[in-house]
């Protein structure tokens, strides 16, 4: 059974319960964020970048440290094109299963990989999305203690199970609203469709008057 119908319900429950996380932008603003998890990927990410460049829109990428180490040139291309970079852990292990020192290590290892690939000060990479969106209150306490910014979601079309391009696009268009924070994937799970999804989705969102912003801009609009 697809989990996609449950995500809007989870959002309505979790967002007010954990308001210090970034779940979405302002309800009175047409600014939305398009985000991509689990990369960079040597094939899917460069293809996606061409679509983003064609429409001249910013996106935000939440990377796995192991993928950055494998494909540093792809990571550098993403950064040079002006997209926002966040952390998704080193190897996609669930944060709630990690001890505090292991959690800190997976974040710092990913920061280091990004720093080496992009010639970027690791302290500038502070946005964190937990793998699979799983977290506990204790997880958030540690992230805040270490001065990271937890980033969640408001639109999750479950593209990683590859339900088809049209299905993913339809799910996003049904759920999107002012301030939406959309999650897609350009990694090994779901990434094979990401370019086609972006090609279909972006012009339709633009035609509805939405403006794409980075996660950093969404934080600023929230404040």
Q: 185 an active-site residue?
A: yes
- Percentage, residues of the chain above pLDDT 70: 99
Q: What residues form DSSP beta bridges with 37? A: 62, 185
* SS3 state of residue 133: helix
pLDDT tens profile 31-62: 999 999 999 999 999 999 999 999 999 999 99
Q: What are phi and psi of 154, to 5 degrees?
A: -130, -20
CA quadruple 139, 144, 146, 148: dihedral, nearest 10: 100
The pair phi, psi for residue 216, each rounded to 5°, is -60, -40
The pLDDT > 90 percentage for the chain reads: 91
pLDDT digits (tens, 9 = 90+) for 131-165: 999 999 999 999 999 999 999 999 999 999 999 99
Q: Judging by DSSP bridges, how do beta strands 211-212 and 127-128 pair with one another?
A: unpaired
Fold of 24-222: TIM Barrel (3.20.20)
**Per-domain residue ranges of the chain:** 24-222
Task: Spell out the residues 6+ positions from residue 122 whose beta carbon is closer than 8 angstroms to its own.
Answer: 108, 111, 112, 114, 115
Please give the radius of gyration of the chain, using alpha carbons only, rounded to the nearest integer.
16
Phi, psi values for residue 143, rounded to 5°: -60, -45
Catalytic residue, chosen from 37, 127, 159, 193, is 37
The reported pLDDT for the residue numbered 223 is 64
Question: pLDDT of 159-216, one tens digit each?
Answer: 999 999 999 999 999 999 999 999 999 998 889 999 999 999 999 999 999 999 999 9
Average pLDDT, stretch 67-72?
98
- Token couple for 222: 């929230």
Under a CB-based contact definition with an 8 Å cutoff, are residues 118 and 74 in contact? no
> What's the CA gap between 49 and 62, in Å, rounded?
15
* H or E element, residue 84: strand 84-87
* 38 annotated active-site: no
pLDDT of residue 6: 85
d(CA 58, CA 200): 17
Q: How far is the C-alpha of 46 from the C-alpha of 33, rounded, in Å?
A: 19
- Tell me what pLDDT residue 188 has: 87
Out of 41, 83, 88, 185, pick the active-site residue.
185
């Amino acid at each position: 059974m697809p989990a996609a119908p449950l995500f809007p319900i989870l959002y309505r429950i979790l967002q007010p319960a954990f308001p210090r996380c970034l779940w979405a932008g302002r309800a009175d603003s047409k600014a939305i964020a398009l985000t991509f998890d689990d990369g960079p990927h040597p094939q899917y990410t460069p293809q996606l970048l061409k679509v983003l460049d064609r429409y001249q829109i910013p996106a935000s990428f939440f990377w796995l440290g192991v993928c950055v180490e494998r494909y540093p040139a792809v990571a550098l291309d993403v950064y040079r094109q002006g997209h926002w970079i966040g952390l998704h852990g080193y190897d996609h292990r669930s944060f709630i299963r990690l001890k505090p020192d292991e959690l800190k290590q997976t974040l710092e290892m990913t920061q280091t990989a990004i720093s080496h690939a992009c010639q970027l000060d690791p302290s500038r990479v502070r946005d964190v999305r937990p793998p699979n969106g799983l977290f506990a209150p204790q997880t958030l306490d540690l992230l805040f203690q270490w001065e990271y910014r937890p980033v969640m979601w408001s639109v999750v079309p479950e593209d990683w199970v590859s339900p088809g391009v049209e299905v993913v696009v339809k799910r996003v268009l049904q759920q999107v609203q002012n301030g939406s924070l959309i999650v897609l994937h350009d990694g090994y799970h779901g990434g094979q469709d990401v370019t086609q999804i972006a090609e279909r989705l972006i012009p339709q969102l633009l035609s509805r008057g939405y403006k794409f912003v980075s996660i950093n801009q969404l934080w600023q609009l929230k404040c």
